[in-house]
Amino acid sequence: MPLARWCILLLLACCPGLAAAEGMASLTGVPGDAARGRAIVVTRQRGLCLLCHSGPFPEERFQGDLAPSLAGAGSRLTEAGLRLRLVDGKRLNPATIMPSYYRTEGLVRVGPAWQGKTVLTAEEIEDVVAFLLTLRD
Amino acid sequence: MKRALLAFPLALPLALLLAGGAAAEPPQSGFALMAPETQAMQRDDTANPGMLWVQEGEALWAQSGCTGCHGDAPGSMRGAASRYPAWDATRQAPIDLAGRIEQCRVDRQGAAPLEREGEPLLALSAYVAHQSRGLPIDPPEDPRLAPARALGEALFRERRGQLDLSCAQCHDDNAGRRLGGSPIPQGHPTGYPLYRLEWQGLGSLQRRLRNCMAGVRSEPYAYGAPEYVAIEAFLMVRARGLALETPAVRP
């Protein structure tokens, strides 16, 4: 039903807040693996999350304080909302310092090793989302 | 005399008040955020590894014939580093201190060029900059530098790399907070060339800038690129008044 779809698009365009509620559908159609997701979140080279965030990771000595704690992220946000923030949080807050983990356009002077590549793969995004959903208050 | 003395304490707060609009916080050197052991290492010349390069530079100064034109560096080079990058009339472009040293060697002495990040040029730069240790950064009022400073500021504010971050987002907006384990300094060029524990050696400001650029997964410019001179020209204005520390020590 094209009319209903147009209405939704119009609503989304008018109220960016709704996009947050809306979030984003799975990138792979396959549920992610929370254990792999945790490993990605705590690695400096892959996830980079703890450069900015802290969280319930008592074994990790160096955690950042540039961003809210990841503790309780799974209670505060829906699966779709978490995914949207990982894929491209700039759609919600263009000024955010959080990198867009699944975006390649609109970037400046990307190093040759990273050109055309997303920070995480679609599978990795789903793994991280699955893990964040387990972080409940 | 008596009146002048009395007027001074009154005039100073007023001047600060008037200047207050420009910068929200007073600039602070990265030194202030370091662990006490690292600070102690920088303060003590016998423990500061950077002093080895300064000594090497002193020997090179004499051997390379710099004395012929400039005499003794402690006299002639005092204050030089606090004024760079400066306008270079021959090239019609701003030039940084290492660039000027190279220009003297190659154009005036007919010597073979030195590698930009090689030990001899680092040592000479460290020796010359060391003569300004303790002096405030004092960028020249030279309108010809304005375009480079503007370009430097634009590059400082431009988001870059796969992680899409600008220098300003870390060094203006998040200075003092922790990126992983490291406190983010305000990013002032007070101590270069400096000894970095992570490098196990002396490195230039350009090496530091390349590290920050690679950190956000962007492509650094080649050593000696005009973009670095432009960024330095902006950083020096931003750091006006901070004391030079060469050779500083950083984690």
Domains (range + CATH), chain B: 2-44+139-250 (1.10.760.10), 51-130 (1.10.760.10)
Residue B128: C-alpha distances to residues B77, B107, B223 (Å) = 6, 19, 20
Which of B165, B167, B217, B231 should be substituted to probe chain A, the one whose Cβ sees the most A Cβ atoms within 10 Å? Answer: B217
Instruction: Print the domain residue range for A40.
Output: 3-134
**Number of domains chain A contains:** 1
Determine contact: A87 vs chain B, CB below 8 A.
no
pLDDT of residue B24: 52
Spell A34-50 as b/e; 16+ CB within 10 A means b.
bebbbbbbbeeeebbbb
Q: What is the ipTM of this complex?
A: 0.88
Q: What is the mean pLDDT of residues A85-111?
A: 97
C-alpha–C-alpha distance, residues A26 and A126, integer Å? 7
pLDDT of amino acid A21:
57
Give the list of residues 6+ apart from residue A16 with CB closer than 8 angstroms, or none: A91, A92
Phi and psi dihedrals of A11, rounded to 5? -60, -45
With 70 as the cut, is the pLDDT of residue A2 above it? no
Q: How confident is the model at residue B3 (pLDDT cuts 50, 70, 90)?
A: very low
Is B212 annotated in the active site? yes
For residue B160, the chain A residues in CB contact (below 8 A) are: 107-109
Question: pLDDT > 70: what percent of chain A?
Answer: 84
Lowest-pLDDT range of A32-41, B24-33, B137-146, B222-231: B24-33
**A99 touching B, CB under 8 A?**
yes
- What's A113's domain CATH number? 1.10.760.10
Average of per-residue pLDDT across A102-129: 98
Query: How far off is chain A from B176, nearest CA to CA, in Å?
Result: 10
Residues B136 and B87: their CA atoms lie apart, in Å, by 19
pLDDT of residue A22: 67
Q: Cβ A109–B177 below 8 Å, yes or no?
A: no
Whether A3 and chain B come into contact, CB under 8 Å, resolves to: no
What are the C-alpha distances in Å from B197 to residues B38, B182, B215, B248, B249? 9, 13, 17, 11, 7
- Best of B164, B171, B182 to disrupt the A interface by mutation (most A CBs within 10 Å)? B164
Measured between alpha carbons, how far is A123 from A136 in angstroms, rounded to an integer?
A: 22
**pTM for the structure as a whole:** 0.89
Catalytic-role residue among B66, B69, B167, B212: B212
